[in-house]
């Protein structure tokens, strides 16, 4: 079922040309509070879907919508679906969801494209999809915001990406992440530039899955909590099931929008 368009022409043009757009105040303070409570609860899970820092503290949980009804509600949020359907021109399914929490001196995320893993490992055929980020904290220049190469989606799949067995979390998370090589990053930044992506809590980022991005270590005491819902058109499904379901979808059902209070009813 199609939802009403949410983004104005300027936001759509921003997404097409730069590779992303940020929608401020997409979620209310009540909805942010509901999602924060859910995130902190799910991050305490003991299972393999939770990635941890060297000191054992959690920093990522994959497949969040499989483990909590509040995140299942999030993927049916009318604004999230309206924006993704508008940009992709199709009903969508969730290929992957996750919680990412950067605390002081936590993990670095190397330069990569989400589609790089989705294509090479999960068998997603085409570079059509959106990485949706919901900010639960203010993302500023101080707490290791996302860094991205504007226009890099125009190159499609960056072929020089490689696995990095020396990565500290290679046995868990990064064994599936194809990092962009230093020479390629140098060339991409020279050609396109580099930008930070910031926004207040409640903002929603919509980014093309082929945009090259990463983030540095958070040396501030300011937490950075972000939820990701990565969606694809229903005709762009993964064909390989090498990874567990919490990494890559088994359910390709088109998402249907819930009522306006789909999240706030949990408050």
Query: Which among 170, 154, 167 is positioned nearest to 212, based on CA atoms?
Result: 154
Query: Which among 96, 103, 95 is positioned nearest to 52, based on CA atoms?
Result: 103
Of 164 and 52, the structure prediction assigns the larger pLDDT to 52
| Cβ 36 vs Cβ 96: under 8 Å | no
pLDDT tens digits, one per residue of 130-153: 999 999 999 999 999 999 999 999
Local confidence band at 234 (pLDDT 50, 70, 90 cut-offs): very high
CATH of 19-48+55-244, one of 1.10.150.530, 3.30.565.10, 2.60.120.620, 3.40.50.2000: 2.60.120.620
pTM of the model: 0.92
Kindly list the domain boundaries of the chain, sorted by start residue. 19-48+55-244
**Cα-based distances in Å from 114 to 28, 47, 109:** 28, 23, 12
Tell me what percent of the chain is helix, strand and coil, each rounded to the nearest 5: 25, 25, 50
Based on the number of CB atoms within 10 Å of its own CB, is 185 exposed (0-12), middle (13-18) or buried (19 or more)?
A: buried
| Cβ 110 vs Cβ 179: under 8 Å | yes
């Amino acid at each position: 079922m199609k939802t009403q368009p949410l983004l104005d022409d300027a936001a759509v043009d921003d997404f097409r040309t730069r590779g992303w757009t940020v929608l401020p105040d997409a979620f209310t303070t009540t909805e942010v509070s509901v999602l924060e409570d859910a995130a902190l609860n799910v991050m305490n899970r003991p299972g393999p879907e939770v990635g941890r820092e060297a000191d054992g503290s959690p920093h990522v949980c994959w497949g969040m919508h499989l483990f909590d009804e509040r995140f299942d509600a999030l993927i049916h949020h009318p604004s999230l679906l309206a924006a993704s359907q508008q940009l992709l021109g199709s009903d969508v399914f969730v290929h992957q969801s996750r919680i990412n929490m950067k605390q002081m001196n936590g993990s670095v995320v190397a330069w990569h494209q989400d589609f790089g893993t989705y294509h090479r490992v999960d068998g997603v055929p085409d570079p059509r999809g959106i990485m949706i980020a919901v900010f639960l904290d203010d993302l500023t220049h101080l707490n290791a915001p996302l860094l991205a190469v504007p226009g890099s989606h125009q190159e499609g799949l960056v072929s020089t990406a490689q696995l990095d067995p020396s990565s500290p979390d290679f046995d868990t998370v990064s064994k599936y992440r194809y990092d962009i090589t230093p020479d390629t990053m140098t060339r991409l930044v020279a050609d396109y530039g580099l930008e930070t992506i910031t926004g207040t809590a409640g903002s929603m980022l919509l980014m093309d899955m082929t945009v090259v991005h990463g983030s540095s270590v958070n040396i501030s005491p300011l937490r950075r909590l972000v939820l990701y819902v990565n969606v694809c058109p229903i005709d762009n499904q993964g064909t390989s099931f090498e990874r567990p379901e919490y990494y890559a979808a088994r359910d390709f059902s088109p998402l249907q929008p819930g009522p306006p209070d789909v999240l706030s009813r949990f408050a």
